[in-house]
């Protein structure tokens, strides 16, 4: 019985450690995504700080939202802070 309890504790301890590592990995992946803003200059893609009709960064497939969602985010293609209500010529619909 003691062996069973010891094994169960070990399993729970390992599960807790794995959950902790998964949480750390998740945060690290989000930070990596944030650090991976694009390298194209805003001017080269006609970036403007307003939408084009219903098209804007927040509904573009290349947009990486900020926190909160109304804050500036990043773009996978374009460098610099990106407004969720901006737009550029390479806008692509989010699926």
Output 62 or 66, the one with its CB closest to ligand SF4.
62
Q: Is residue 82 a contact point for ligand SF4 (CB under 6 A)?
A: yes
8 Å CB contact between 93 and 60: yes
Q: Report in angstroms how near the CB of residue 45 gets to ligand SF4 at its nearest.
A: 6
What is the rounded CA–CA span in Å between residue 93 and residue 95? 6
How many Cα atoms sit within 13 Å of 95 on the Cβ side?
Answer: 0
Max Cα-Cα span within the chain: 71
Q: Which x/- pattern, by CB under 6 A, does the window 51-70 give for ligand SF4?
A: ------x--x-xx-------
Site for ligand SF4 in 30-49 (CB under 6 A): 45, 47
């Amino acid at each position: 019985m003691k062996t069973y309890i010891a094994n169960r504790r070990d399993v729970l301890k390992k599960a807790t450690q794995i959950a902790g590592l998964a949480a750390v990995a998740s945060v690290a992946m989000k930070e990596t995504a944030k650090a991976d803003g694009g390298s194209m200059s805003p001017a080269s893609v006609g970036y403007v700080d307003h939408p084009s009709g219903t098209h804007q960064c927040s509904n573009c497939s290349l947009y990486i939202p900020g926190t909160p969602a109304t804050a500036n985010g990043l773009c996978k293609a374009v460098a610099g802070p990106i407004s969720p209500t901006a737009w550029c010529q390479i806008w692509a619909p989010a699926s």
